[in-house]
Amino acid sequence: MVSFSSLSSLVAALAFIGSASAVPVTAAASSSSAAASSSAASSSVISSAAPSASASSVSSAKASSTSSAAAVQSSAAWTIPAGWAIAPSACIAEGTSGRALSWVTTSSSSMTVEKCLQYCDNYNMPLAGLEFSGECYCGNVLGNGASLNAKSDQCIMNCNGDSGRKCGGPGALSLYVSTKDNAATLSADYTSTTVSLPSGWSSTGCYKEGKTGRALDGWSYSGIINTATCINYCKTKGYSMAGLEYGGECYCDNAFRNGAGETATTCNMPCSGGPGENCGGSNVLQVYSNPSLAPSTTISNGYNKQGCLVEVAGRALTGASFTSDSMTVDTCTYYCRSSGFNYAAVEYGKECYCGNSLANGASLSKYSNQCTMTCAGNKKQNCGGPNALVLYSM
């Protein structure tokens, strides 16, 4: 017979054995679960690593594709504001001696193409250029050495207010041109304008103002003008030369005065009454002339007018000469005839020369178009010009 104490000992032993064997089983299960979990995790990492990278790659590719498509769509969707177009040379170099577009300008930390074009529209300008991300320039023509032919690859800077558009770069303009009537007279390279001139008139160029006074001081007026209105005004006043200056000033005369006659390159201000036309600039005149209206004397004191000749080094006539602030053709021919010379010539408004033959290589075949100055003593008579003389012979 087993005693109660023996039975108790046996139960305790069995309980201990059961407890001891239960721990490893639980641990094994736990370990197995961890291993499975670890294996699953490892499998997940491995099996999902490739797909994950692939998915990432696909996702990235899609994003890239979407981004690229968006950029293309953005570019395609962007519309140039009405009334404007990208110039044939979309990016040009700045002027070499000043701004390419010099009429009006503005700048902004939020500059966009649209803002610049609107700004230039407000001044009815046919050309607009953006530079250095935030600068906007407007003008009537390209000046100071700039031209459509002077292309640049430096329009690399985004607009301050629109990273999707370029606003020029260092020394380079993103150029736009108006599609309205104000650009109709632009030359092919945008450096000048062409206008319909009254019959008999032609452009003689751009000239600096006089050194001691007005280059053309016969008559003048200012206001809302264009080329034709100035020319017609001078014509009705009896003058053969018309000069437009500073956008809204008109000057008339029959010759350059006060040391004027030096050419210039800055006649780029639009006319106040014709934005597609140039009306000179600051201290420079766009000059037009009609030689048929120039005052002239064909016969004087027995001398007959031969024409306008090029003056030469050493003088064409070397017999006698004098100058006078009251010079006229008749005064000169009288002087030369009284001195017994066959030729008489007036030059530079107040100079008179006499001789019996043309000297130092001068020739009747060497004609000049510079006899544009009236006589100091008679504005109705022509007294040659700079290095040009009106020749009379017996």
**Interval 3-57: pLDDT, tens:** 444 444 444 444 444 444 333 333 333 333 333 333 333 333 323 333 333 333 3
Same domain, 57 and 130: no
Same domain, 65 and 110: no
For residue 367, the model assigns a pLDDT of: 80
Would you state the structure tokens that stand for residue 331, as one six-digit string? 């005064």
> Over the Cα atoms of the chain, what is R_g?
44
Residue 179 covered by a domain: yes
- The domain in which residue 343 lies consists of 296-393
Find the DSSP H helices in 146-199: none
Same domain, 321 and 388: yes
Same domain, 266 and 304: no
Residue 166 covered by a domain: yes
Same domain, 305 and 388: yes
With CA atoms as reference, report the closest residue to 286 among 216, 342, 351, 354. 216
For 291, which DSSP code? G
For residue 43, the model assigns a pLDDT of: 32
Q: How many CB atoms lie within 10 A of CB 223?
A: 10
Same domain, 96 and 151: yes
Same domain, 316 and 264: no
Lookup result for tokens 């640049």: 152
End residue of a domain, out of 292, 308, 340: 292
Same domain, 282 and 300: no
Counting beta carbons within 10 angstroms of the beta carbon of residue 37, is it exposed (0 to 12), middle (13 to 18) or buried (19 or more)?
exposed
CB 140 within 8 A of CB 269: yes
Q: Please tell me the distance from the alpha carbon of residue 136 to that of residue 174, in angstroms, as a whole number.
A: 10
Find the DSSP H helices in the chain: 4-77, 113-122, 227-236, 329-338
CA 312 remoteness from chain centre: 39
Residue 363 covered by a domain: yes
CB 227 within 8 A of CB 244: yes
The total number of structural domains in the chain stands at: 4
Would you state the structure tokens that stand for residue 355, as one six-digit string? 């001789």
With CA atoms as reference, report the closest residue to 351 among 380, 328, 318. 328
Would you state the structure tokens that stand for residue 56, as one six-digit string? 């990432």
For residue 273, the model assigns a pLDDT of: 81
End residue of a domain, out of 183, 213, 230: 183
Same domain, 28 and 106: no
With CA atoms as reference, report the closest residue to 344 among 312, 293, 304, 297. 304
End residue of a domain, out of 183, 215, 242: 183
Q: What are the φ and ψ backbone dihedral angles of 287, each rounded to 5 degrees?
A: -110, 140
Reading the chain (394 residues) residue by residue, the pLDDT tens digits are 444 444 444 444 444 444 443 333 333 333 333 333 333 333 333 233 333 333 333 333 333 333 333 333 334 478 999 999 999 999 999 999 889 998 889 999 999 999 999 999 998 889 999 999 999 999 988 988 899 999 999 999 999 999 999 999 999 999 999 999 888 888 899 988 888 889 999 999 999 999 888 999 888 999 989 899 999 999 888 788 999 999 999 999 888 888 888 999 888 888 888 767 889 999 999 999 998 887 767 899 999 998 889 999 999 999 999 999 999 999 999 999 999 999 999 999 999 999 999 999 999 888 887 887 889 998 778 899 999 999 999 9
CA distances from residue 113 to 19, 94, 123, 126, 131 in whole angstroms, order as listed: 85, 18, 16, 15, 10
Largest Cα separation within the chain, whole Å, is 183
Q: How many CB atoms lie within 10 A of CB 257?
A: 21
For residue 261, the model assigns a pLDDT of: 86
Q: Please tell me the distance from the alpha carbon of residue 119 to that of residue 111, in angstroms, as a whole number.
A: 11
Residue 15 covered by a domain: no
* 342 three-class SS: coil
Residue 196 covered by a domain: no
Same domain, 208 and 173: no
